[in-house]
Chain A
Amino acid sequence: MALFLLLDRLSVLVVVIIFAILFVSPSFSSTDIRILKAERRIDLTSSIVRAFHTLQVENIGDSHASEILLAFPPDQAKHMADLQASTSQGKKKKKNYIHLDVNPIDSSQTPNGAKLFSVSLNHNPLKTGETKTLELLVILTHVLEPFPAEISQSESQLVHYRDSAILLSPYPVKEQMTYIKTPSKKVESYSMVNPTNRVGEELRYGSYADSAPYSYTPIIVHFENNHPFAVIEELVRVIEISHWGNIQVKEQYRLLHGGARHKGVFSRLDYQSRQSSSGVSSFKTLLAKLPPRVHSVYYRDDIGNISSSHLRLDSKKSELQIEPRYPLLGGWKTSFVIGYSLPLESSLFEMSDGRHCLKFNFGSPFLETVVDKLTIKVVLPEGSKEPTASVSFPVEQHHETSFSYLDIVGRPTVVLKKENVVPENNTPFQVYYSFSPFFMFVEPLMLVSVFLLFFITVIAYLHTDLSIRKAA
């Protein structure tokens, strides 16, 4: 055992040295900033990986630093759903957090294709000799890789998590520590990078001192995670506003169990009678938090109503618990539609300049699910003008026209698209538009006039006599 440890340590050392040699040369890293202390807490308890980084940064250069660079391995950058940075200000009692802007920057120069992000400190640049504490929240999806990739009904789900024991950073790090939290004590194996130890559900890597910029020490943690890996492959939310007093929401889901694929037999008998040992990684229900005051909720799919759902309404929130038609085992898919209505005044506000503002939650209402591809369509009433949308994070948007009941010119529709959406994105977004109440009456008037015309035609027809020969 000791020999193994020694070997392990030796190999890690070699890797570190190689990395250090490789990475010293590039000139990109601005060496006038260093990280005094880095602490990472990586939460692996659900299917979404959340990493909290606390970095103590010091400016040792001559000039002010207005931005701080963060580096991530390309694999993590690809699966990154959200990256939030903040810094604390003030003393302990009056501590308040300032949200900082994070933007990806061109990272073609970096070694091994590490992706760089810059945290801008525009309002409060880091002066020479100063230190500052940065707090980062990194959310990664689809990084827990099931291993084995296929399991049978009686097995529980094991996953691999890959990361580096040392924080990947363009700056030198003086001291660092990494904590990894696993959902249970069942950890099959983990890489040793001394000092490494494991206490209960927590793995500790570090502390390591004085690591060079861009140093990387790969680690693998193999552990049990039976948390439902619910992945919504595609979600289309259509929010339709009617100024007669109703907002109608229709959400179309394509749901997948993104964990280890199920193989072989599915026995209903085992699934029902031995619930603790059979299909532990599968899930039967999902919980959605809908806005308060919803009504007319429906839950169905292409072939009709799905009768297994529960709705709990109270004044602050509404909870919808749905059961797909069948329990989802690894790799199984399903699709369904949820729809509900809201009173207009709960989400629509009138601005001081007479414009209307719709305030609605981005993201899916389901807890702890990843949405791979989200499309939100806000259908404004016919006749509304100048729609603009504002979302707190970058999304792809465009406008289109949709047609519904008796429309002639069509309804302006704002389409918002985002990939890789996590519950943290579930923040409100706004759509502004101007609308004249006159347009509300266009369709009723149209119906009235059509019927009027019809009756007049009938009356006229009954009173005309076009016969050539008069009856005797």
Chain B
Amino acid sequence: MAIPESPNPMKSSLRNASGGVLCYFILLLIGVLAFSIRIFSVIKYESVIHEFDPYFNYRVTQFLVKNGIYDFWNWFDDRTWYPLGRVIGGTVYPGLTLTAGSLWWFLNSLNIPLSVETVCVFTAPIFSANAAWATYLLTKEVKGTGAGLTAAVFLSMVPSYISRSVAGSYDNEAVAIFALIFTFYLYIKTLNTGSLFYATLNALSYFYMVCSWGGYTFIINLIPMHALLCIVTGRYSSRLYIAYAPLIVLGTLLAALVPVVGFNAMMTSEHFASFLVFIIIHVVAFVYYVKGMLSLRMFKVAVTVLVTIGMVVCVAAVAVLIAVVAASPTKGWSGRSLSLLDPTYASKYIPIIASVSEHQPPTWPSYFMDINVLAFLVPAGIVACFLPISDASSFAVLYIVTSVYFSGVMVRLMLVLAPAACILSGIALSECFDVLTRSIKFNLYNLFENPSPIVGDSSSDDSAVSEKVKYDRHSGSDTHEEVLKSRTSKKYKKKEKDVVEKIVRKPKNEKRLLVLPLEASIFTTVLIIILGSFYVIHCVWAAAEAYSAPSIVLTSHSHDGLHVFDDFREAYSWLSHNTEVNDKVASWWDYGYQTTAMANRTVIVDNNTWNNTHIATVGTAMSSPEKPAWEIFQSLDVKYVLVVFGGLVGYSSDDINKFLWMVRIGGGVFPHIKEPDYLRDGQYRIDSHATPTMLNSLMYKLSYYRFVETDGGKGFDKVRRTEIGKKNFKLTHFKEVFTTHHWMVRIYMLKPPKNRIRGKLKKSKFSLKKRSTSIKDSQISRPNPWH
């Protein structure tokens, strides 16, 4: 993993060249690994878009490819949130769509006829290879090539990132993680070189990140935190200024260009930290400037004057700030950000955020599942970052600390933690190998040559120097302008290098004293390799088994082979071919994106949960008895109602299991829906002890309509593992128009209004009679088993 170090200083140039080639080759292999570990889903299942949000992104990309960029910005989508519609151009993060769209356009201009779907499916694996390379660059800036390669290997297969970037998982995070790491790399690169060129690139990369994902606020808070940390710890330099100030100015301007962000880049509280630090860094820069101009006594006078003026300015600034916060449209913080700061916020105030499983706090096993052995290597990496601490390594430490906190709040943000964990584990592992291989080498050298310790020292120093040289050469060969810059900066660097090496040499000498015994180091090396291979095995398993299922097609292994449950697509396909183009389909919001993308039908609510009232309306309809539900749906011009039901085959994430959230969200807006009405003694149940409200709710009826006839009168629900409470009932306001092969999706049509009154009168008598007879039946049939 680390670059092999040969003890012979004579062949150093050849060794550097071969080291460079080896390094590029390893990087290439890492890219191939990152790509290929993610195509398990295509091999095991098929080349298809996964889950929910990717379907929306796919649909947007199709629109972009078909209608061009201008229509895309102006796209008003009337297929969703009926009757409100949604302005897509102004409410999506366009980065992913534009990336895949331009990738498709590029390929097609070369006459490579790949479909939009294929391009979308493979966007995520391609970008995870990019992310691995970006990790290499970032870690190299922090701790050198060896650590960089190790971190890149870790990142290329970290399960947390795989979960969001398998082939087909066409989601914002897939490109955003690359953008995130690359932005951090450019920041560190600027910090290390002080080059305005990188600072500009950094702003552009930040722009790409803003285009891609709402998680850009993490960058715009983390970088100011780091800048502040540097200033507070007395590490202010002109390089920090160049790294920070242009990013904020250019970055904010560019971010405001993205329609979905717009003036939020100036006005929401998420961005205030960056402006505050922007002011501070200017004050500090001014102080340093003045300090350089004045003599010591004059400076002290100036400081007292400045502090008094500064206090006044600060008070004014704080007042303005508070005023702005109070006046800003979102009262400062958005709901999701607030739930980040206060983990209990969402569950208290916004059930819709809390209802999404990826917004729940993670459990301990999910850490082990998602970052595996990295969790144990991270502390070692943090320690390694402090030996010695530099601007870059302090950034790595800050990054891990903040991302650990955020990942603890939301499972979804585990994704932000993963790169940090990889970087620090890479550093840790690389440092370990460094120490261990050095001690093995040193011991072997002692064993065979019987030398003096000075030789060992010089060799290790040599390798350090040669690495530096090599590093310079790399940066020099990148582009031509860089050659000039790196050459000019070389002078700085030489000065700095002297300083750094003085610092470095001390620990080096200590390290040399810390040479481990041969047996111990060989043993530890073997152990670390075993640890690494556990990680690899776990990652491959996670990629192949845990994260590659597309979730729209399910499989189960039984004794007679593989069984495929393709009910979702069956239903969507039926809808798209056998209903009118402008029919409206109501379902719980989870299936909104899929319905619009796969069935091309108008939906009432979808996964972009922007209008709570609208979702609550659908939730209320689902939790109401048939007639009020029919009235609600009729008022929304709904023609079909789609429910997902897993009771026949045991598919556990069906609508009955989500039903309490419908009740909660509905009840949040329409108080006549009360959660306790659906619970018996605080327990959610659908068996004979269920409450009448529950048994009469539309969701219950649509799910279990004629279910009892499937197994000869028992009605055993395989998910809830119980017999259902109400078995024989008829629908008065809805009729079944389609049920898929395994009953997983059931589609009902609203009966037209004219049949309502007659049907209802009859029905009420009929159902009364029916109910009494069914009770009688059960009473009569009860003794039967005992005979």
Contacts and interface: CB of A to CB of B under 8 A. Distances in A.
Interface string A327-352: 00001111100000000000000000
A21 interface: no
B46 A326 contact: no
B550 to A, nearest CB: 8
Contacts of B569: 303-304, 325
A325 B566 contact: yes
A462 B477 CA distance: 7
Given A268-B741, A331-B578, 7 more contacts: A267-B706, A268-B743, A269-B710, A303-B573, A307-B553, A332-B578, A462-B477
B740 interface: yes
A227 to B, nearest CB: 21
Contacts of A306: 566
B736 interface: yes
A304 B46 contact: yes
A266 B739 contact: yes
21 contacts: A265-B736, A267-B706, A267-B739, A269-B706, A269-B710, A304-B569, A305-B46, A307-B553, A307-B564, A326-B570, A331-B578, A332-B577, A333-B577, A334-B577, A335-B577, A403-B113, A404-B113, A405-B111, A405-B112, A406-B111, A467-B480
A467 B487 contact: yes
Given A304-B553, A325-B566, A466 B739 contact: no
Contacts of A265: 735-737
B170 interface: no
B112 A406 contact: yes
Interface of B: 46-48, 110-113, 477, 480, 483-484, 487, 490, 552-553, 564, 566, 569-570, 572-574, 577-578, 598, 706, 709-710, 735-741, 743
Q: Is the interface of A mostly helix, strand, loop or mixed?
A: loop
Q: Which 8 A-B pairs have the closest CB atoms?
A: A268-B739, A304-B48, A305-B46, A333-B577, A325-B570, A307-B564, A325-B573, A303-B598
Nearest to B491: A472
Contact of B573 (A334, A404, A405, A469): A334
Interface in A316-332: 325-326, 331-332
Contacts of A333: 577-578
Contacts of A307: 553, 564, 566
Contact of A467 (B46, B483, B598, B741): B483
A264 interface: yes
A461 B706 CA distance: 75
A91 B578 CA distance: 57
Nearest to B483: A467
Contacts of A469: 484, 487
Contacts of A264: 735
A405 B111 CA distance: 5
A407 interface: yes
A466 B378 CA distance: 45
A407 B570 contact: no
Nearest to A410: B111
B48 A305 contact: yes
A150 interface: no
A332 B564 CA distance: 24
Interface residues of A, number: 32
Contacts of A331: 578
A301 interface: yes
Contacts of B566: 306-308, 325
A332 B709 CA distance: 26
Given A266-B736, A305-B48, A326 B110 contact: no
Contacts of B740: 268, 326
B109 to A, nearest CB: 11
B573 A301 contact: yes
Nearest to A255: B577
A442 to B, nearest CB: 13
Contacts of B741: 268, 326
Interface in A349-408: 403-408
Interface in A236-258: none
B656 to A, nearest CB: 18
A266 B111 CA distance: 46
Contacts of B48: 303-305
A273 B735 CA distance: 19
A265 B737 CA distance: 5
B573 A471 contact: no
B689 to A, nearest CB: 26
Contacts of A303: 48, 569, 572-573, 598
Contacts of A267: 706, 736, 739
Contacts of A403: 111, 113
Q: Which of A269, A331, A333 has the most CB of B within 10 A?
A: A269
A404 B111 CA distance: 6
Contacts of B111: 403-408
A406 B735 contact: no
Nearest to B577: A333
Contact of B113 (A405, A408, A467): A405
A22 B578 CA distance: 48
Contacts of A308: 564, 566
Q: Which of A265, A269, A304, A331 has the most CB of B within 10 A?
A: A304
Contact of A406 (B110, B572, B574): B110
B535 to A, nearest CB: 33
A344 to B, nearest CB: 21
Interface string A396-439: 00000001111110000000000000000000000000000000
